Structures are given as C-alpha cells and as structure tokens.
Amino acid sequence: MLQQGMYFRTVREHSILLMSQRPNAPYPDRLSNDGQTLYYIGHDAYGVPNKAREDQPLMTPKGTLTQNGKFFQAAEAVRQGARELVRVYEKIQPGIWSFNGVFELRDAKMEFDRIRKVCVFELRLTDDSLNTENEARGQSTSPGRLIPTQVKLKVYKRDGGKCVRCGSTENLHFDHILPFSLGGSSTNPENIQLLCQSHNLSKSNRISY
C-alpha cells in the first residue's frame, strides 16, 4: 500500500502523486477551476521537530534527493524539453482513492507560505489518460471530465461506499451514468455512481445493461 504521497518513477515510467482537497488534508493541493491544472504542494522534512515551520527540503541530511528534489530535478529536465508523466490519485475518504488522470509536470518552484518555503509543483492534465484506466472505457480525460471532490464525496455517501450493482467495497470507481463523451455531467451527483472495477469495465460506454 502507498504510505506517503510522492513516488518518483516507481511504477513503469510514471511517477505517482497522491493528492487531497479535503479540508483537513495535510497539504493544500488544489485543482484549477477547469480541473486541468494541479498545484501540488511538496512534503515536509521527515523526523525533525516543527517540520511544519521548516522549509520543505530538496535534499536529505545524507545529501540525496528527497521526493521534492526528484520532482524538482524532473522539472528542470522538462525545461530542457523532457516530458515527465505523473499519475494522480485523490483521497476521497480514508482508504479510498480515485484516479484523477495522467498529468504532465510543467514547473516546480519554492514559494513562501507565510512562515517558510514550500515546494509547489504545477501539473497539467494530458490526453495520456487514454492509455490507462480510461482506455477500456474508450474515453479520454478531457476538460470537464474530472469529477469535483465535493461531488465525489456526495456520491460516496449516497451510495454507501459500495458498488451500486454488487455491493463490493473494493477498487471503486466514480462512473458517469450518462458517459461524459455523450454529454453526461461531471458536476451533477445524479449522473455519477460508484461501481467496482469489474462493473465499471463491463459497462463500457453503454448507458445501461
């Protein structure tokens, strides 16, 4: 299981970032209003007192790169023309993660957060989501396809944290009842339902069985 939020190139060629927009989230990640740009906050130093008052480190005390540092280095390579793809998952409830798509790292900077410097990573949603979970559904992640966190929370609660078809509580996906590609809404909870992975995949782009 994933324990922390930043994984530089641990899975195939993709890195992974775990984000959370919940009010009590440890790091205030945010998505732009069109859902296409993610501002991801780096992580604090480990094992130091008052870590929330210390600058977020790029290097460990041993002189190796932290996860912050690895993503910073990748952003430097991006400025030279490289491409850095990142799979982004969002925490909906404890233990429940939703795939938000494949993003491309665009920039990294240190910003003052009133009392200290934090890392801010800018990522942009790509069409590479075609190559991942959405491939089986024949959908791409396009503007407006991402389901806002507040909608996910409502749907999760309404559906009791279970697949609406079989009651499974594992590998849940937020499904567009009327597919986004056919004009279905991402922002109306009435058009979103919880499905387990197998029911999500078997549904494909069909509206009903």
Residues in contact with Zn ion by CB under 5 A are 163, 165-166, 168, 196, 199
Nearer to Zn ion, 9 or 165 (CB): 165
| Minimum CB–partner distance for residue 90 and Zn ion (Å) | 21
> What's CA 7's distance to the chain center, in Å?
12
> 127 — phi, psi (to 5°)?
-85, 0
Nearer to Zn ion, 43 or 199 (CB): 199
Nearer to Zn ion, 73 or 168 (CB): 168
Nearer to Zn ion, 82 or 166 (CB): 166
| Minimum CB–partner distance for residue 161 and Zn ion (Å) | 13
| Minimum CB–partner distance for residue 97 and Zn ion (Å) | 17
Q: What is the C-alpha separation between 146 and 80, in angstroms, rounded?
A: 30
| Minimum CB–partner distance for residue 96 and Zn ion (Å) | 15
| Minimum CB–partner distance for residue 168 and Zn ion (Å) | 5
Q: How many CB atoms lie within 10 A of CB 115?
A: 10
Q: How many CB atoms lie within 10 A of CB 78?
A: 16
Question: Residue 48 corresponds to which tokens in the numbers above?
Answer: 């130091």
24 SS3 class: coil
Question: Residue 147 corresponds to which tokens in the numbers above?
Answer: 């389901």
| CA angle, 153 then 101 then 93, to 5° | 25
Residue 31 pairs in a beta bridge with 38
Cβ proximity of 144 and 83 under 8 Å: no
Nearer to Zn ion, 87 or 199 (CB): 199
